[in-house]
Amino acid sequence: MGSPGIPDFTKAETHNPGPFANPEVRPGSLPRAATLDWQPLHPRYAKRLQAGALIRIGVLAAVVAAAHVTVLLAGFETLSRIAVWPLRILWALCALGGAWAVVKPLIVVPRCGYAVREKDILYRSGVLWRAVRVVPFSRVQHTRTDSGVLDRRFGLANLTVFPAGAGGHKIPGLGTDTAENLRAYVSERIEAEKLEAADTGS
Amino acid sequence: MMANPATWQRTSPFAIVFFVGKTIKTLGQSFAQLLVTFGALAVLIRRNPYLFLLIPLGILAIIATGVLQYLFFRFAVQEDRILIRQGVLKKTSLDLPFERIQGINVERSLVDRMLGLVTVSLDTAGSGAAEGQLPCVDAALADLLRTRVSAKHGSGDEGDARDEDAEEASTGSARRAVGGRSGRTGERREAILTLTTGDIVRIGLANHNLVLVGAVLALLGQSLDFAADILAPAVESAETAFAGADDLAQTLLVTGFIATLLAIALGLMIGAAVLRHHNFTLWREGTTFRSRAGLLTQKEVVVEAAKIQQISVSQSPLMRLFRRYRLQALPAAAMPAQARDAGGLPGLAEVLEVPALKDSRAEGIRTRVFGREGDGLTVLPGSRGFARISAHFIPVLTLRISLVSALIGAVILLAIVGSERALGVAVAVVIWWFCSLPPAALISWLKWHRHGYVYTGEGLANRGGFLGRKVDSFLFRKVQSVAVRQSPLQRRKGLATLHAHLACGKVSVPFINHGMACRLRDRILYRVESSRLRWL
């Protein structure tokens, strides 16, 4: 897969960094994201997602019900005849949405997870389209924990780390204290990285 | 004015022009916004012609805000910082220590140059926007700022920022002080390249707006019967002159007319290129890269070498004909060029751009920016080193393109025909989808053909493009975060897409071997986490 004329470090050098070796990092401690102990998200997170989705579906259902009642009470024969099928479709959508709202978090949440290492934080997500994202602590500009109304009801919080450039990396569905501990750890690691950089830099 | 720089001072009154321009820019921040405003205005004026008076009133108001902003703008240069106070209603005061200033960019309009003034913008690290802008100040002040900032950077954290430079400093005495305005600062100057007149003409010729202008002219000519109106008398006179040969005369005249229009457009494009790139010079001074160009408005871009995150080299088909490349060195938090051009957002970190250069020069700039870490990393789209991505890319993209086109077709058809003949529409859409498969496959094949990547132990170059070609290359240690993504199909075929997020944007290598993507990700992480060089 490598290109001709270019050293293929992937074969040998990940195990023995050779001339690229930085004496501070032992070859054994090289990050290898594949062999990781993934921490699951909080079990209540699935319930929180279900609740959120059900509330949204409930609002939709209320709107549909209001429309249905209006159509029935208005008494226009043509209108109620035309509106029969759209209303049936909307009700079906509501039912399907409700079912999906219950099922989806049960599928999605167990497949999400995070892992924290000495030098970086990882988050994996996705059922069909899977992704593993890694943010090294030495690149984190700031962190944020937040929890909305629903999150608080379920005792959950989200942690977001912001590297420079676009976008933050969000780890949702952590227990409140886990999120706080994690944030503290990340901040500590950022500081440590900064100190290390300052030490060896000058 | 410069006698006591520690006191509050105003800029030159010519700054009013700058502030007026800035107000207009904020008003027209988005093209859509402007369009809506003008549309509403047009409708209102049609209703009530007296509302025409609003236009001069509006212009007066804009000028008045400009004057007010100028009156309320004060700044003070101190030993280690610069203070800026501005704002009429919402007052802001800015305190910028010189250590935080990453670059000082200078722009000079024609008026500025006649009066010896400059507009200075101060780039700071971290935040994307250039926070401080000093419009129309004395050129001496820019020099003063520059020396103070470079003194701060020099004494402060010389160690890591100049690492690569320090080694060259010992051998680099030969190319000391090359430029014309030397002696302004005490630092080394190394001229890297200048644009020749031929290059500037090539840029003008390769401008893709030319095609656009041609299309617009053709449309205009058709819709207004513009061409016919102008040509009618000429054709008549020609008919009398070449009695009997009017067909020939007409074709000749039409081709002549089109050729004239094209020549005018070409002239305009070349003129624009000359205006923008006249006397383009790129040089290195200490740890910064600087470029200066422009015929009337002279613009100087200064980018700290350590701040450059990525080098992008692109080549449009026309430029490929001329064997020239366009190089952009993207600093942290730089907006992509297109967004910058379209949105016109003021004050974002400047991109160092060389509009046309030969391959050897591009590689030369790469070695200067990346240093020895970039060895083996190519920035040229034509290089043979690029490895192909998996061919599974082609069917996936084909399907996506054809489905999108079918969807758009379905929506258009439904809008035209109406939903009564749904079956007919469905059949038509399916046929349309089948017909769109071959061209979609062709496009996908071309895109696949353009894709490629090269990596070394220290960096990666990713090639992409459709008609043109573009190579984004970066050093692993500059990466901010990495992601490996897999779609269901990619998972079945053992493929993945690697996303490397940099402080200036994202570089994605699609459809490579999953194991390869993981190894590259681990290598990137290793370099990021073990490197002690500053990324900014």
- Confidence at residue B171, expressed as pLDDT on a 0 to 100 scale: 35
Residue B431 forms part of a structural domain: yes
User: Are A139 and B480 within 8 A, CB to CB?
Assistant: yes
Considering only A132-136, B41-45, B435-439, which range has the smallest mean pLDDT?
A: B41-45
- Confidence at residue B520, expressed as pLDDT on a 0 to 100 scale: 93
- How does the average pLDDT of chain B come out, rounded? 78
- Confidence at residue B433, expressed as pLDDT on a 0 to 100 scale: 92
Query: Which of A134, A162, A194 is the mutation pick for testing B, counting most B CBs within 10 A?
Result: A134
- End-to-end CA, chain B: 35
Query: Is residue A69 predicted with pLDDT exceeding 50?
Result: yes
Residue B231 forms part of a structural domain: yes
Residue B433 forms part of a structural domain: yes
What is the span of the domain harbouring residue B24?
15-156
User: Are B504 and A165 within 8 A, CB to CB?
Assistant: yes
Provide, as residue numbers in chain B, all residues whose Cβ is less than 8 Å from the Cβ of A201.
157, 159-160, 532-534
Average confidence (pLDDT) over B294-314? 86
Residues of chain B with pLDDT > 70: what percent?
Answer: 79
Residue B163 forms part of a structural domain: no
- Confidence at residue B263, expressed as pLDDT on a 0 to 100 scale: 86
Residue where one domain finishes, among candidates B423, B449, B475: B449
Provide, as residue numbers in chain B, all residues whose Cβ is less than 8 Å from the Cβ of A135.
480-481
Q: Based on the fold, state whether residues B254 and B289 are members of the same structural domain.
A: no
Provide, as residue numbers in chain B, all residues whose Cβ is less than 8 Å from the Cβ of A134.
481-483, 521, 525
- Confidence at residue A44, expressed as pLDDT on a 0 to 100 scale: 92
Q: Based on the fold, state whether residues B234 and B343 are members of the same structural domain.
A: no
Enumerate residues 132 to 171 of chain B having a beta carbon within 8 A of any beta carbon in chain A: 157, 159-160
Q: Based on the fold, state whether residues B375 and B404 are members of the same structural domain.
A: no
Q: Based on the fold, state whether residues B318 and B439 are members of the same structural domain.
A: no
Residue where one domain finishes, among candidates B101, B124, B156: B156
Determine whether B432 is exposed, middle or buried from the number of CB atoms within 10 Å of its CB (0-12, 13-18, 19+): middle
Q: Based on the fold, state whether residues B361 and B478 are members of the same structural domain.
A: yes
- Cα of B80 vs its chain's centroid, Å: 33
Query: Is residue B129 predicted with pLDDT exceeding 90?
Result: no
User: Are A129 and B488 within 8 A, CB to CB?
Assistant: yes
**pLDDT tens-digit map of B457-493:** 889 999 999 888 999 999 999 999 999 999 999 999 9
Q: Tell whether B532 lies on the interface with A, counting CB pairs under 8 A.
A: yes
Residue B536 forms part of a structural domain: no
- Cα of B423 vs its chain's centroid, Å: 47
Average confidence (pLDDT) over B429-455? 93
Q: Based on the fold, state whether residues B354 and B397 are members of the same structural domain.
A: no
Q: Based on the fold, state whether residues B24 and B151 are members of the same structural domain.
A: yes
Determine whether B243 is exposed, middle or buried from the number of CB atoms within 10 Å of its CB (0-12, 13-18, 19+): exposed
Residue B175 forms part of a structural domain: no
CB of A135 within 8 A of CB of A121? yes
Enumerate residues 104 to 133 of chain B having a beta carbon within 8 A of any beta carbon in chain A: 126
Considering only B53-57, B253-257, B316-320, B343-347, which range has the smallest mean pLDDT?
A: B343-347
Phi, psi for B323 (deg, rounded to 5): 55, 45
**ipTM of the complex as predicted:** 0.79
CB of A119 within 8 A of CB of A105? no
User: Are B521 and A136 within 8 A, CB to CB?
Assistant: no
Query: Is residue A9 predicted with pLDDT exceeding 80?
Result: no
- Confidence at residue A4, expressed as pLDDT on a 0 to 100 scale: 42
Q: Side by side, which strands form the sheet with B288-293?
A: B132-138, B117-124, B101-108, B298-304, B288-293, B281-285, B189-194
Distances (CA, A) of B165 to B162, B169, B184, B363: 5, 6, 21, 18
Phi, psi for B310 (deg, rounded to 5): -155, 145
Q: Tokens representing B227?
A: 């061409």
Model confidence at B174, pLDDT cuts 50, 70, 90, reads very low
Q: Tokens representing B444?
A: 């996908």
The CA distance from B32 to the nearest CA of chain A, in Å, is 24
- End-to-end CA, chain A: 39
Residue where one domain finishes, among candidates B237, B255, B276: B276
- Confidence at residue B227, expressed as pLDDT on a 0 to 100 scale: 52
Query: Is residue B295 predicted with pLDDT exceeding 90?
Result: no
List the single residue in A20, A34, A165 with the smallest CB-CB distance to B480: A165
Q: Which chain B residue has the Cα nearest residue A18?
A: B457
Domain boundaries A112-197, corresponding CATH code:
2.30.29.30
Query: Which of B99, B124, B309, B481 is the mutation pick for testing A, counting most A CBs within 10 A?
Result: B481
Q: Based on the fold, state whether residues B432 and B517 are members of the same structural domain.
A: no
Q: Based on the fold, state whether residues B322 and B464 are members of the same structural domain.
A: yes
User: Are A6 and B528 within 8 A, CB to CB?
Assistant: no
Q: Tell whether B487 lies on the interface with A, counting CB pairs under 8 A.
A: yes
User: Are B525 and A120 within 8 A, CB to CB?
Assistant: yes
**pLDDT tens-digit map of B210-225:** 777 677 766 765 655 5
User: Are A164 and B523 within 8 A, CB to CB?
Assistant: no
CB of B135 within 8 A of CB of B32? no
Name the range with the highest mean pLDDT among A75-84, B73-82, B109-118, B153-162.
B73-82
Provide, as residue numbers in chain A, all residues whose Cβ is less than 8 Å from the Cβ of B521.
33, 132, 134
Q: Tell whether B386 lies on the interface with A, counting CB pairs under 8 A.
A: yes
User: Are B525 and A136 within 8 A, CB to CB?
Assistant: yes
Q: If you count residue pairs, one on A and one on B, with CB atoms under 8 Å apart, how many are there?
A: 142
Domain containing residue B135: CATH number: 2.30.29
Query: Is residue B382 predicted with pLDDT exceeding 90?
Result: no
Determine whether A77 is exposed, middle or buried from the number of CB atoms within 10 Å of its CB (0-12, 13-18, 19+): exposed
Q: Based on the fold, state whether residues B368 and B471 are members of the same structural domain.
A: yes
Residue of B130 and B272 predicted with greater confidence: B272
Residue B474 forms part of a structural domain: yes
Residue B28 forms part of a structural domain: yes
The CA distance from B480 to the nearest CA of chain A, in Å, is 6
Average confidence (pLDDT) over A56-62? 94
Q: Based on the fold, state whether residues B325 and B426 are members of the same structural domain.
A: no
| Domain total in chain B | 4
Q: Based on the fold, state whether residues B433 and B484 are members of the same structural domain.
A: no
